[in-house]
Structure 1
Amino acid sequence: MVKVPFASLSAAIAMLATALGFLTVQLRAEGYEQYVESVACASVVLYVTAALVVVTWVRARRPHSD
């Protein structure tokens, strides 16, 4: 069975969320307030997704006791 690359997936999602966070700051500085909320929301959703991938990774490593 092939192991799923949880660590690289979580890191990539977190990096994308960080990039969107920086974009949010740039949009606010440039005066594009109408886009700030949606980009910030997408950034937060990606951070939560990265955290859930880590939780899945931790749970997948535990031995299954049925």
Structure 2
Amino acid sequence: MKQVPFGAAALAVLGTALVSFAFELRAQGYEQYVQDVNFLAGTAYFTAIATAVMWFRARRPHSS
């Protein structure tokens, strides 16, 4: 795992796009969909953070 996890960055961008979409939905009166879109954005952010943490931990030298 020597390469930077570009998937984590892509997931963070996806989460940001979904948050922006949720704001648009709220502005246009589609309140019933905002919670679902925010849940997807949070899931994307969580997955991006988990991917980055796993990448960082895999790069550390092993003590054994």
TM-score normalised over the length of structure 1: 0.87
Equivalent residue number for residue 57 of structure 1: 55
Instruction: Give me the identity figure in percent.
Output: 47
> How much is the aligned-residue C-alpha RMSD, in angstroms?
1.4
Note if 1:26 corresponds to 2:47.
no
Query: Is the contact between residue 2 and residue 59 of structure 2 (CA under 8 Å) also seen in structure 1?
Result: no
CA displacement at 1:5 relative to structure 2: 4.5
Q: Distance in 2 between matches of 1:58 and 1:39?
A: 29
* Unpaired stretches in structure 1, ≥5 consecutive residues: none
CA displacement at 1:3 relative to structure 2: 4.1
Question: Following TM superposition, where does structure 1 have runs of at least 4 consecutive aligned residues deviating by more than 6 angstroms?
Answer: none
Counterpart amino acid of residue 45 in structure 2: Y
Counterpart amino acid of residue 29 in structure 1: A
Equivalent residue number for residue 12 of structure 1: 10
Counterpart amino acid of residue 12 in structure 1: A
SS of residue matched to 2:61:
coil
**Aligned residue pair count:** 64
Give CA deviations for 1:3-55 in whole Å, capped at 9, x if unaligned: 4541x111100000100000000000000011000000100111011000110
* Unpaired stretches in structure 2, ≥5 consecutive residues: none
